[in-house]
């Protein structure tokens, strides 16, 4: 499948075989990673493939492979994490592999962290154990389209079915002429503790789906005098 097609069929895979991913696929993943470009230049990210034994997780992962993704300590870098590596997530699943975003994990003692960065998230991946792809977008348990946008816009279906931490779906979209404004839910104090790092990544994932579905037309910018929406944080604006 193409990456656009994978948007409608991917799933977060948590059940894996213990065998290694073949070297042809591993090399294809490395090559794809080398060509990733950020949404927001200047907000640094970095990633490396590790063994799952080099990290600690709240659950046991049978696959031996994971991606450790690092970012500078700012929301823009976390948005880049979601934007860049969701494209990789779709690519790995297009190879017949499984993958899953994992925020509740940390590196084992002694594992290096790039200077000026911190671990943003882990992405275990490998050969799925009997986990089928979704057949249609109806298989996704998500908000209805009218709950995430002020105007019915079928172009946003690819965002509607994007993955997010605890399925929080923090995005909202408003329209102004030919521009789509992108918003992130403003978290309260309690949710900020659990989702504060994850929601910017979620927004990057959502925008990665919008970009992947419209690679030739997608233009992202930030207005100097951005609009205001109560209860939401302005992320940026998109033209398609």
Of 150, 149, 139, which is closest to residue 7 (Cα–Cα)?
139
Domain 3-126 matches domain 137-239 at the CATH topology level: yes
End-to-end CA distance of the chain, in Å?
Answer: 23
List, for residues 5-45, the tens digit of each pLDDT value: 999 999 999 999 999 999 999 999 999 999 999 999 999 99
Tell which CATH classification among 1.20.1070.10, 3.40.50.1820, 3.40.50.1860, 3.40.109.30 matches the domain 137-239.
Answer: 3.40.109.30
Which 3 state secondary structure label does DSSP give 165?
helix
3-126: CATH superfamily: NADH Oxidase (3.40.109.10)
d(CA 19, CA 26): 13
d(CA 129, CA 150): 40
CA-atom Rg of the chain in angstroms:
17
Query: What region, left, alpha or beta, does residue 236 occupy, with left being phi > 0 and alpha being psi -120 to 50 degrees?
Result: left
- Which of 134 and 91 is assigned the larger pLDDT? 91
List, for residues 57-88, the tens digit of each pLDDT value: 998 999 999 999 999 999 999 999 999 999 99
For the chain, domain boundaries: 3-126, 137-239
- pTM to 2 decimals? 0.95
Place of tokens 């109806």: 138
The DSSP call for residue 235 is: E
Average pLDDT of the segment spanning 91-115: 96
């Amino acid at each position: 499948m193409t990456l656009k097609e994978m948007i409608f069929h991917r799933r977060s895979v948590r059940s894996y075989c213990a065998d290694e991913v073949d070297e042809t696929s591993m090399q294809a993943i490395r090559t794809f990673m080398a060509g990733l470009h950020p949404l927001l230049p200047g907000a640094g990210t970095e990633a490396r493939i590790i063994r799952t034994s080099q990290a600690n997780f709240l659950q046991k992962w049978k696959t031996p492979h994971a991606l450790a993704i690092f970012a500078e300590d700012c929301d823009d870098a976390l948005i880049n994490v979601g934007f860049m590596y969701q494209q990789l997530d779709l690519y790995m699943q297009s190879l017949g592999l499984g993958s899953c975003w994992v925020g509740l994990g940390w590196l084992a003692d002694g594992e290096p962290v790039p200077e000026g960065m911190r671990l943003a998230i882990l992405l275990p991946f490998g050969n799925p154990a009997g986990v089928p792809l979704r057949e249609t977008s109806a298989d996704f348990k998500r908000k209805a389209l009218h709950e995430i946008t002020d105007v019915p816009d079928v172009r946003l279906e690819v965002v509607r079915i994007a993955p997010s931490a605890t399925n929080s779906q923090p995005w909202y979209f408003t329209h102004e002429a030919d521009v789509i404004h992108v918003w992130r839910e403003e978290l309260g104090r309690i949710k900020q503790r659990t989702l504060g790092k994850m929601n910017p990544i979620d927004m990057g994932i959502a925008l990665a789906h919008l970009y992947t579905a419209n690679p030739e037309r997608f233009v992202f910018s930030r207005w100097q005098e951005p609009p205001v929406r109560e209860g939401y944080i302005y992320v940026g604006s998109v033209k398609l």
